[in-house]
Structure 1
Amino acid sequence: MTNGSDERMAVTAAAASLVAALTLAPLVKGGTWLFAAAIMVLTVMVSGIVGRQLARGWWPAVVGLQTVLLFLAVVVLFARGELINPPGAVQALQEMLQAGMNVTQSQSPPVDAERGIVLLVAGGAGLVALAVDILATTFRQPALAGLPLLAMYCVPAALLEDGLPWYLFLVAAAGFLLLLSADAGDRVRAWGRVLASAGQRTAARPGGDTALARGGRRVGLAAVAVAVAIPAVIPGLDNQLLGGSGDGDGSGGTVITRINPILDMRRDLNDPVDTDLLQYTTTVANPEPLRIVTADEYDGRTWKPSGKKIPRANNINDGMPSAPGLTAAVTTESATSDIQIYRLRETYLPLPYPTVQVSGLDGEWLYDPDTLNVIGNKVDTTQAEYRVSFLNVTPNSRQLANAGSPPQEIVEKYTQLPDDMPESIEEITRDVAGGGSQYEQAVRLQDFFRRDGGFRYDTRAPQNEQGDGSASAIMDFLDQRVGYCVHYASTMAVMARQLGIPARVAVGFLPGSVQSENTRIISSRDAHAWPELYFQGVGWTRFEPTPRDGQAAPEWTVPESEEDGTTTEEDTSTTTAPEDSQEDEGAAAETQTPEEEAAATATQSSGGFSVPWQPVVAVLVLLLVLATPRTASALAARRRWKQAKTPPALAAAAWDDLRLGLSDIGVRWAASWTPRAVRQRLNDDYQLAPEQAEALDRLVAELEDALYAPPSDLDGRSAEERKQDVALIVGAVAVQKSSQTRWRARLWPASGLSALAGLGAWVTSKFQRGSGSSDDEDSAARAKVGASS
C-alpha cells in the first residue's frame, strides 16, 4: 500500500500495544514501569518506520533491526554499565529477570517497582509491541495481531484475584479495534480516490465519513458492549477475565467449595476463583492457623487421619479433653472465636488448636482424643455457626530445647515410616539436621526449607503421579526444590520421623485477611498444610517450613540469641551498629571497580527502579521529531524546492506542492488526469474565486509548458510566487472542509507519510546520483512531471 499506510499502521500498532500495556497497571505500583514500557514500544515503532524505508520492504532486515534496537534499549535502561560488554549485559539481565520472577512468586500484586519487575513488565511490553508490529504492519494481519494483545491482557486477568475491572477491558478492546479500523481504512484507500462531484459529496459527511465507516464503528462498539454486559448478567459465566466473585452456578445457588485433607490442596490453591469460605471473630490479636484435621498416618503415598473408630461418647457437647503433652509450664491464654461457615462443606470441623469447648452446633460431632480432630456423624459444616473456647499456646524456644524424651508410645506411633523409603532421603536428612538436641535438628530442617536450601514456593510445581505427599514426590521436591505447602509439610514431617522426632501433618487455613478489628475472612487460597512435632512438656508444636509470602515462622521455632536473649529468624552474627554499617558501605563503595559497581546495580533486587530518563528522552524526542509526518512533510518540501533550479523543475515542484497539499485535506486525483482536467474538476467542485482560479491557471500553464515547450521558450517565475499560488488554492479548498479534516492535515498530513515512505528511495538515490548538468535536471523534472500529472 502507498501514501504512508505502513507508517500509519506502525503508529497505530504502537498505540494499541501501549494501550494494552495499561491493563498491567494493577500489578505494579507507581508509574515508572509505564514510562519504561513506553520507551520499549516507541523504540519498536521508530525502528520499524526507519527500517522499512531503508530495507525497502525486505521484512527480515526490518525485524532484525527492530530486535537489535529493542535489545539495546533494554540494555541502556537496565544494564547500561555493560553496554560495551554484550555477554555481561546478557548475564546482568538474566539475574534481574530471575529477581523479578522471585518477586512474582513470593508476593501478591501490586508489587513494588523493583528493577527486576520493571524489566519483566517493560520488556514484555516491548516484545508484545514487536509481535503486533510484525503482524499488523509487516504482514498486514491486524486480526492476528490481536493475539499478542490478548496475551498481555490475560496476564493481569489471571494474576488478580478479582480479575480486571470492566473499564480496563474496554481500554484493551479499543486498541484492537483501532488496529482493525486503520487497516480497513488503508484497504479502502488502496482502491484510489478521485475528485467527487458536488452531488456525490453530499452522500458522505465532511471528512469522508461514509455510511460504511459508521456502520463498522457501530458493529465494533456493539461487540465490545456485549462482551462486557453478558458476563455480568449470566450467572456462572465469570471466568475472571472481567472480574466478579465467581459465585454463580447457573441455577441461582452458590458455589460450595470442599477441601479434602492433602488430596485437594493443590486444586484449591490454583482455583482461579478465590471463594470466601468462612468468617471468624477472635479475641486473639495474632491468631494461629485454623486447623481442619491432623493427618497422623503415612503410608508412603500420602498423609491421612488414623482410621480408628471414635465412640459416640466422645461428644463435643461434653467438652474436649486436654491437649496431649501440654503442661502448665507452658504459657497459655484462654480465648474464644465465633466462626460462621459460608461455602465450606467438610465432615471435619475447622477449629483452633487446642480447643476446650464448642457450642452452637447442630447434629452429632465427635472428637479424637489423640489428635483433637472433630468429625461429624452424618452431618457436615454447611452453613454452620458456632463458638469455640480454646487455649492460645505460646511456648518459648528454651522450653523446646530443654524438652525431655517423649513417651515411648508416642515415639513408636509417630515415627513410623514405610520400609521402602528411599535411603537418599535419610542421607539428606542427616546431612541437614546435624547433631544436637531434637529441637536444634528441627530448627535446622525448617531453616533448610525456608532459607538455606534454595527452595521456592510455587503452587504449580510439577505434579507427581503418585501424589504430592508420596516418597517419590518428596524425592522430586528435594531435587527440584520447587513446591507448595504440601511438599514442605510432608517432607519435613518425614525427615523429622527419620530423626526419631514424633511428627504429623496438619491441614487447615492460614489466619486469613483482616476485615475489622479481630474479624477475619478465610478464602480457598488460604488453604495450608504444616508439620507438627512433639516435644515433651509442650506437646504438639507447629513448625513452618513453607516460605510463603506473609507467613513467618513461629517465634518458638527461632532459637534465642546467646548475646542478648532476643530472637530473630536471620543470622544475627553479621549485625552491626548503624554507624559502622554506613562506614563499611562507604568503604566498600570506594573500593568497588566499575565492573563490580555495574554488577551490583544489575543484581540489585530491592528498592525502586530509576529510569535514566534524560538521555533516553533526548534520543527518543529526536527520533520522534524526525519521524513525525509534519516534520517529514516540511523537510520534503524544502528539499523539493531547493533542488528546483530551472523553470521545468520549479513547475514540477509547484504542481507537487499542490497535489500533496490537496491530498492532506482529502482531495486526490487519478494519475491519468491531465492538468486541465484537474483544473476543471477543482473549479466545478469548489467554485474557486477569480483570484484563486487565476492562480490555478498559472500553475497549469506553467506545467504544460514544462511538459511540452522547449526549455529555451520557458519564462518561469520565482519559487516564492509559485508557493503563494499553491497556498491560495489549497486554502480556498480547505475552508470548505470540516475542522477535523483541517486539523488532521496540520498534525498528521498525508504528504508527510508519503515523504516517510519515500525516505529509503531518496537515501538510495543520493548514493547513486552524480552531479548532473542543468539539462539532466530538466529531463528529470520533465519525467517527474509526466508521472505525477
Structure 2
Amino acid sequence: MKFRQNPLSSVVIALAVWACLLPLGDLIDREAFLLESLPIVGISAVIGLVLSLLHAPRILILLAQTVGLAGVVVWRGLSLAGPGDALGALRLLTSDGVEAIRTQAPPLAAVPGLIWLVLLLSALLVLVVELLVNGLEQPGWSIAPLSLPFVISALIVRQDLGFLDVLPVVGGYLLILLVSSGTGRGAATGRASRQGSYQASRYATAAVMAAIAVVAALVLAPLIPLGQKQPWNSAGSDGPIQLSDPTVRLNEDLRRPEDSPVLTYTPSDGEPTYLRTVALSNLTADGARLVPMRLSRFGLGGAYDYPGDDVRVEVQMRDVPSEYLPAPFAADSFSAEGTWSFDPDTMSIVAAGETRAEQTVNLRYSVDSTIPNPTKEQVEAAAVGTGVDPVNSEVPSGLSAEIEALTSEVVGSAETAGQKAMAIQSYLRSDRFTYSLEAPTGTGSDVVSAFLLNDPEGYCIHFSAAMITMARMEGIPARMAIGFTPGERQEDGSYEVTTHDAHAWPELYLDGLGWVPFEPTPAFDGPPEYTDPAQQPSAPPSQTPTASAPPSAVPQQPTPTMTPPAQPEEGGQGQDGGGAVVIGIAALVLLLALPLIVRSLQRAVRLRSGQEPSALADGAWSEVRATLRDHGLPWSKASPGPASRELAESLPQQAAAALSEVAHTVELSRFSRGDVDTDQLAAQVKSLRTSVARGAGTGTRIRALLLPRSVFTRHG
C-alpha cells in the first residue's frame, strides 16, 4: 500500500528528540541547552506538520526540514560567534566547544561553543529520526539516535547516570512507535484482521520488551564487571583545567628579596593603571579562594557593561610564565597569540591552550578596557548592587563576634553602601594599622580577626580581606582582586611592572557602578578621588613591599574551571538567552497557529483561479464540506443537489441559499456537456462561509478559526 505520513509524526519526533536531550543535563547546564534547542525541534515540527497536511511527498518534507534546520543552526551559530568571517567563526565556535569538553570538568557551563555543538546534535538527531520514521518507514530503529545523548553523557560524566536519565529516551521512543503504528505497510495488516486486536498485540509486545529492558538494566547490568569507568580520563593533559591559588604565589613572592621585571605596558592615555589577573570571590574560614569558572572564548565585549574610561594598553611580558593575562579591569577585547578564554563573572582572562602555562612568556599583546573611574560623590551616593553570585556576599564563619560590633562602629551613621565602603577604607588606612611583611600568611577567619582586633599589622591581602569581610557584614558584595600596581614610569612613557608591584585589593559591587576597586592598604596611593589621601604607616614596612609575579601553576587548591555558578544579572557569554526565549515563544505561537495556517492554505489552494472548471468545482465542494465540519454541522454523502436540500434544514436561510447555488454550479460542471461558468464559485463559497459563521455562537466561531475540525480529520 502507499505510505501515508501521520500529520502529527513530525511533532512527536520533535518532542522525542527534545526529551532525549535531557540526559545531557548531567554534562551541561540543562536550562540553557534545552531552551536553545527549542527553535531546532520547533522548526522541524512546523515544517513536517504543514507539508504533511498538504500531502507533500515525503522527500520534499525531508528536504524542507533540512533547509529549515540548516538555516536556524547557521543563524544561531553566527549570532553566538559574533561578527567576522562566517566560516572561520563557525570553525572557531566548533573548536571552542570541543576544547570545553576536552579540558573542563562536568557539569559544563553552556558556553557558546557547547551551545553550538548541542544545536548541531539536535538538528542531526531530528533529521536522522525523520529519515528512519517517515523516510524509510523503520520507526523501530529510531532508538539508536534517540539514545545518543544518553550515551554521550554516560561516557563523559565520571559518575554513573541515574535510572531516571533514561526515561526521557524510552518515553520519546514509545511515542514515536505509537504515532507510527497506524501508517505504512503495518497498517494494512491491521486492517486485514481486527484492528483492536492487532493494536493490542503491538502494545503488549512493546510492554513485554520494555519490561525485559528494565529488568536487564536494574538487575543484570550491576552484576557485570565492567572495570574502571573512563580510564582514558585518569591521566594526561586532556583533563580539566586546574587553576592555582593566586594567594600562594603572592605570599611566596612577598618574602623574596630580589626584584625582577614582569612586564612593561604603554597606556593610550599615558596614565598609570592597575593590571588585574584574577578575582577571588569565595571568602571562607580558610581564606580567599577561587570559585569554579565558566570559561568561554566568545562574548567578552558584552560581558561587562558599566561606565568607565576607555583605555588601550600595549603590553610586553618578560620571561614570566602565567596562566592569567594581566589586563586593566574590565577588558572589552584583547589581541594575544595562543588560546585564551575568559570568565564572564570575574572577567579574568585565562590561558587554555596545550602549552597554556607558557603562553605569557615574552608575549606581546594589547588590551582594550573600560576602567571604572567614578567620582567620590558617585561612590558615596551608590546603593548596594544586586544580581551577582551570592558567593560574593557570604560572610566567612569562624570570625570573632567583636568584628561585627567593630564594623557597626566604623560605618557609624553612614547610610548608603558607598558611604559605608568609604568609611571602612578610611578606617583601614588610618594610623591604627601598620604595613608589615612579618604578619602571618593567609586570609582565614583567625588571621582576619587577629588583624582587626589584636595585632593590626599586615600587608595587602590582610587589608583587602579585612575590607571584604566588613563590607559583606554590611550586605555589600565584595571580592579580592589579584594583580599589579601601576609600576614605575619610564623615559619613553611606558611603565615597568616588577614582582614588587604585585598586589591584592578589594572590589565592591555598587548599584549603577559595577565592581569598584578600593585601596585600603596604606602603603599604596590607590585609585584617585574616592581613596583617602595616602597616609604613611606609623612604622615603616619591615621590607620593601613585594608581591607576586603573575600566578603560575602552583598545585594547591586546584579548581576545575567549568562548574557554573549562579547566573549573573549583568554580562553574559554571548549566548543571547533573551533571543532564544523570543525564538522559543515565537515557535510556540507558530505551532498553536498551525491549524489556522493550514486551513487558510487549503482554502486558497482549492479556490485558486486558473484551474479547470471541473477541478475548481471539486475544490469548492470540498471547501463547503470542510466549512460545515469546522462549525460542527452535519454533512451528507449524497450528490451536491440532494445534499444541499438535505442540509438546508440545519443552516440559516442565507447560508442555505448560498449552498444551493454552489451545489447547482458543481453539478453542472460534473454532468453538463457544455461549458460551465465557474468564475462565481469562490464568491459563492465565501458567502456560504460568512453566513454559517454569523449563525454560529462565539465559541463555535473561535474553534472553527483556531482548531478547525477538517484539518484533523480525513474525508472519505
TM-score (norm 1): 0.39
| Structure having the higher Rg | 1
Q: TM-score, normalised by structure 2?
A: 0.43
